[in-house]
Structure formats: structure tokens, C-alpha cells
Structure 1
């Protein structure tokens, strides 16, 4: 039964994505002269993603700690990554951030094209030149006032355990003296296998936005990174019950 529902779900996504992209293209054209940070388009993209959560009867997503995310101003957001659907649930933040995402995602029909329209940041994992270009693009975005969202583990966890964090997000936060906001994503790890398309079970996901960290309070990038990782790990270990 799950296999049938899964295939129906992916088929619905395939059918509706061209329609959503047409809307995104229209919004991009209309707002291009006055919305340089593409805030309106990003909010539309959030609604696009959340639609795929709402229509799935097996998924439930809650968000707490929104008060820690300002609507305006630069910040670096750092979230754990356990499942493909982390991307969908984090769009439910409805804040005008820019994704840092692997280059392969930008090649996807409609979804990837929309990522290009939004000005999200592409990254080839393990490619030093691409990493440097990504950091430069993120620096420009932060200077313009746009938050950027990273998965500092670099890839999805295979077993649900938090992987070591890479330095990039934390280096940017210190360099630009902007808040570092840790985000703990609960309950998505078992929703979808890393290699496969069959949804595994009901998902009660919880996006927990933790208190922002001031990089000036930490002596080094490494200390900021390690403390942020520990805060996310502690939050995952003590999942809220309400």
C-alpha cells in the first residue's frame, strides 16, 4: 500500500510542478524591477513546497522558535540533514533565506529552474573551486541583507546520527558578524531512504529554531561550529513533546 501511495504522490508532484513553475516564472517577471532580493518569489516557493506537505496525509510538520528568525537582516542558518524532505519542511520557515544546495538539484526540471530564478547558491561537493565560489556568493548575499541556509554536515546522514560539521557556514557568520541560527529538524530521518522513492512511514516532523548565536562570543570558527553542533545534537536528543 505504501508503495502505491508513494508512486501516486510522486506522480502528483510531477504533474503539478510545471504549473507551479509557470506561476514562479510569472512572479519573477513581474517583481524583477523592484524585488532585487526576490523575497516575493521565495515566499511563493515556500508555499509551493508546503503544498506537497499539506497534501500528504502521512506527513505533519510543526515549527517552533520563529521569534528567533528576523524577517529582515542577514544571518546564517545551519540545520541538520537526515532526509530529502528536510528541504520541504524547512521551506515552512517562510523567511526570505537563500539555500546553499548541491549542483545536481539545480538541474532538476522545474524545481531546479525555480532555484535558479530565486538566486539560490549552487555547490559541487568536494570541489575546492566550487566551494570558494559558493562562499563568495554567500558573502554577497549577506552584504545585501539576505540570510543563507546551510546543511553544514554537507550531505544527508545515513543512519540519523549527526555528522561532523564543515566550517563554511561558521566562517561566514564570523567574517560578516551576523547571527548564526542553529536549527534542529526532528523526525524526518525515517521518512524516505537515502536511495529510494518509497515513503516509509508517517512523519511527525518538528522544526526547532534555536536561539541565535553571536559569533563575537566565540574565540574561533571551530568553537562556534562545535558549540552550534552540540546545541543541535542536544535538541535532537531531547525532542520537545509539545
Structure 2
């Protein structure tokens, strides 16, 4: 029944999602040209609030839970499991006060309304997976920007999305590179649950009546510990929450 309803409601959601992207393309440009970083960031925050809201037309919902007392004047590396592209808009919106940047494939910087422009000027890292040197350089630049501006970043250490919610092994190389430039960053695991269910049948039909939960877990102080151990600790926290 949920899948059947998705056949009727998915076109509405998809059209609205794309319409929001198109509307915010010139808004972003104007904000950046006239107001610089902060005006542009505000437009991106609102953009992602609107994108997140489109799933409510599927009777889906996102519940964000943060019971942690996270510092606002310190760079944070958020480590999250990754279940679908729908993970990103609510993370941008709910983590907005931490100036959370993302690491993206360089291919996404072209021809996608709103998304491509934000990736070009928003301060994140756009990496070429075929060019290791370029990727490392971009990550180091991101780490330096985090240190200089007290920004944060969201990393998906699995490296790709999980089609069925089952977590892959976390990789630590990217995190280690960022910590070289921003060694005082706090590591904070985030668990995403159920977003894969929305796209379990693909882009069409999208699933309905699905509640996605995103919860911030206990922070991890680096304290000079080996990065592999820190990442494994974050991975264990998330797996325990998901019961995997």
C-alpha cells in the first residue's frame, strides 16, 4: 500500500524538489554577489529546509535529535553513516549553526541547479576520485578553512551510500588528512536511520509513511589518539545504535 501510494505522490515531490532547486539558483547567486559568505550561507540553509520539507508530501518525516552539548566556537568533524542522497538536506539545515561543509565528487559541481553553485562557492571540498593528489589537496584546504573560520564538516566515512541500511566499514584517510590541518577538531558521530527506506524502490516510486531519524551521538575527543582508533569508536557507536 505504501509503495502504491508512492506512485501517485512521488511526481509531486520530485517536481517540488526540482522547483526549489531552480528557484534558489538565482537567489544564491544574488546573496553571494551582494552579501558574501554569510548571506549566501543563509540562502543555502533556507534552501535545504525547503528541500527537506518536500518529503512531507509523501507523508514521510525527519526527526532530528541532539542531546549533546556541542561547542559552537570549535570546529567539528561530524561522522555519519550514509543511506541516501536525502540525508544531506536535513543535515545542512539542522547543523547550520556549526557551518558544516561537505566533501563532494567534483562531477556534482556542474549542471545541477543550486547544488552545483553551492559546491563551488560554499567552502566545502570537491574531490576528483581519480586523482589522489587533487583529493588530498582539497581535503587539506578544507581543514585549513575549518581552522581559520571555526567551520565544521560532515563526512560519510563509508565512502558511498548503503542501499539497504547495512553499514560498510568506515575509512579514516580523509579524516586523518583534515585533522592534520585542524588538529583540535572534535569528532561527533551521527546516526542516520531509515532514509534508505524512502528510496528502496529507486527514485520512482519513492516510499511513503517513512520516519527518518537523525541523532547526534556522544562526542569523541581526539587527544592525540590514532585516527584509526577514533574512527572505529565512532563506527561502533553508530552500529550499536542501529543494532548491527
Band of TM-score, shorter chain: 0.7 to 0.9
Q: How much has 1:209 moved relative to structure 2?
A: 0.7
Gaps of at least 5 residues in structure 1 are 33-37
CA 1:91/1:19 → structure 2, altered by over 3 Å: closer, same or farther? same
User: Which of 224, 234, 240 does residue 240 from structure 2 map onto?
Assistant: 234
> Could you tell me which residue of structure 1 aligns to residue 102 of structure 2?
99
User: Which of 152, 156, 159 does residue 151 from structure 1 map onto?
Assistant: 156
Secondary structure of the residue aligned to 1:207 is strand
Gaps of at least 5 residues in structure 2 are none
Give the aligned length: 232
Q: How much has 1:169 moved relative to structure 2?
A: 4.4
Secondary structure of the residue aligned to 1:215 is coil
* Equivalent runs, 1:121-140 vs 2, <5 Å: 121-125=125-129, 127-140=131-144
In 1, Cα distance between the equivalents of 2:19 and 2:147? 38
Report the RMSD for the aligned CA atoms in angstroms: 2.2
Further displaced range: 48-57 or 208-217: 48-57
CA 1:66/1:103 → structure 2, altered by over 3 Å: closer, same or farther? farther
> Could you tell me which residue of structure 1 aligns to residue 116 of structure 2?
112
Structure 2 residue 176 is the aligned partner of structure 1 residue 171: yes
> Could you tell me which residue of structure 2 aligns to residue 47 of structure 1?
46
> Could you tell me which residue of structure 1 aligns to residue 230 of structure 2?
224
* TM-score, normalisation: structure 1: 0.86
Structure 2 residue 81 is the aligned partner of structure 1 residue 75: no
CA contact (8 A) 1:86 1:185 kept: yes
User: Which of 118, 142, 148 does residue 146 from structure 2 map onto?
Assistant: 142
CA 1:62/1:224 → structure 2, altered by over 3 Å: closer, same or farther? same
* TM-score, normalisation: structure 2: 0.85
Q: How much has 1:88 moved relative to structure 2?
A: 1.7
User: Which of 201, 211, 214 does residue 218 from structure 2 map onto?
Assistant: 211
Q: How much has 1:120 moved relative to structure 2?
A: 2.0
Write out the 4+ residue segments of structure 1 that deviate beyond 4 Å after TM superposition: none
> Could you tell me which residue of structure 2 aligns to residue 189 of structure 1?
196
